[in-house]
């Protein structure tokens, strides 16, 4: 019996997906569980595996095309099966929106992003005509930066050149696609991530009444603590690791700051699933470290490094960027001293972290040079009052200024 391949829901904020690349051609046989198609959601690129074994009878949405969640994108069946009925149904969307845009994308596909898959599957994706095998994103990057692909060794399946193979070359992926001409303007399509950010941040600012509380933290103890760890161990401890652990400990004492507004009730969560904002060229993604209140700082460090690396390669699984109860946005590495962040719904608060600044401070009645850091808590006033936010920051500050307590 023929099987319909539908556009999956790969994240809680995903409305539609984009077909990056079909890994099988029409008429080719596929096995159940074998990677069938690369799909771009609003947060990551993922491979969809074949639901069943058979022949890929029909590709309904081609490479570069978009389709809403639940839409038919392909059909798997046997050679003699009649699939006309399935094609006529084209059911989709649980939501009303059924419009697709694949035709527009076929002749001029939008810039695509490679997954950088590492598992070597026995398939030759193109090339019987002598052309180099390279992902669409790798081709785009090579064209932008003047890289000859025939000089690059591919690390993808069957030697396919992918994004990471070009990471050691001069320049950066954030460079404009063409030379900037002064006095001109251009229009650039929003990425899936950017569309989601625009929608969710507008929703957050227009529905959640934000208020902001800022404190200065003496960072001398945290700096000394980090230096001791770096000198005594091989752990490459970061300030973000310390911030996460301190926030998790403070959240356990202030459940409303860790809560979620549900209309006529509040969900109080007695665990700290902390999201960390990671900047990508096309927007932000927030990988989540779960149960931070139970983890040691070294465990947080290891997990965060892995999540951030995979977030930048768009290789996170949906469960790795969903379900956070609190978010930390740290712009300290960009020399930003102070800023406010927009709450990531349905969370009740977000912590904005600035840079560590050398400035005069008063200690024991004398003015000395110290190191301080400003943090600002953005809170949803529907569930968090000013005094609650202030008490949370008091405890957070105590942990940051007494970091040894985080190891107990």
Instruction: Enter the tokens of residue 159.
Output: 């030697």
- CA-only gyration radius of the chain, Å: 25
* Contact indicator for 141, 167 with CB cutoff of 8 Å: no
256 alpha-carbon distance from chain centroid: 26
Residue that has been written with the tokens 């159940």 in this structure:
32
Among 254, 273, 371, 381, the one annotated catalytic: 381
343, 335 contact by CB (below 8 A): no
Can 381 be counted among the known catalytic residues?
yes
Tell me how many degrees the CA angle 236-173-105 measures, rounded to the nearest 5: 130
Terminal alpha carbon distance of the chain: 59
Cβ atoms of 149 and 160 within 8 Å: the answer is no
DSSP string covering 332-385: GGGT---------TTBSEEEEEEEEEEEEEEETTEEEEEEEEEEEEEEETTT--
Residues acting as catalytic residues: 381
């Amino acid at each position: 019996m023929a099987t319909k391949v539908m556009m999956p829901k790969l994240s809680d904020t995903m409305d539609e997906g984009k077909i990056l690349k079909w890994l099988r051609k029409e008429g080719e046989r596929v096995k159940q569980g074998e990677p069938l198609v690369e799909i771009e959601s609003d947060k990551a690129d993922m491979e969809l595996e074949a639901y069943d074994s058979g022949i890929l009878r029909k590709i309904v949405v081609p490479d570069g095309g978009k389709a809403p969640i639940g839409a038919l994108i392909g059909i798997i069946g046997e050679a003699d099966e009649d699939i006309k009925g399935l094609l006529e149904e084209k059911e989709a969307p649980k939501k009303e929106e059924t419009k697709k845009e694949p035709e527009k994308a076929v002749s001029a596909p939008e810039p695509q992003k490679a997954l950088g898959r590492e598992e070597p599957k026995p398939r030759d994706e193109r090339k019987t005509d002598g052309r180099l095998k390279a992902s669409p994103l790798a081709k785009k990057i090579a064209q932008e930066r003047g890289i000859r692909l025939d000089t690059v060794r591919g690390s993808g399946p069957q030697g396919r050149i992918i994004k990471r193979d070009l990471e050691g070359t001069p320049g950066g992926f954030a460079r404009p696609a063409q030379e900037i001409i002064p006095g001109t303007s251009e229009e650039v399509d929003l990425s899936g991530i950017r569309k989601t950010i625009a929608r969710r941040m507008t929703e957050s600012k227009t529905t959640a009444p934000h208020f902001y509380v800022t404190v200065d933290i003496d960072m001398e103890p945290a700096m000394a603590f980090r230096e001791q760890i770096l000198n005594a161990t091989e752990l490459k401890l970061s300030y973000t690791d310390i911030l996460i652990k301190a926030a998790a400990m403070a959240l356990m004492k202030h459940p409303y700051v860790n809560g979620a507004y549900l209309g006529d009730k509040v969900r109080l969560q007695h665990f700290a699933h902390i999201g960390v904002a990671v900047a990508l060229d096309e927007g932000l993604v927030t990988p989540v470290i779960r149960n931070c209140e139970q983890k040691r700082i070294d465990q947080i460090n290891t997990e965060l490094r892995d999540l951030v690396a995979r977030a930048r390669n768009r290789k996170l699984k949906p469960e790795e960027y969903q379900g956070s109860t609190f978010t930390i946005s740290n712009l300290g590495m960009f020399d930003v001293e102070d800023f406010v962040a927009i709450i990531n719904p349905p969370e009740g608060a977000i912590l904005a972290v600035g840079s560590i600044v050398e400035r005069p401070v008063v200690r024991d009645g004398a003015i000395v040079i110290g190191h301080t850091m400003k943090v600002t808590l953005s809170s949803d006033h529907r569930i968090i009052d000013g005094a609650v936010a202030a008490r949370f920051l008091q405890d957070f500050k105590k942990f940051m200024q007494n970091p040894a307590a985080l190891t107990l």
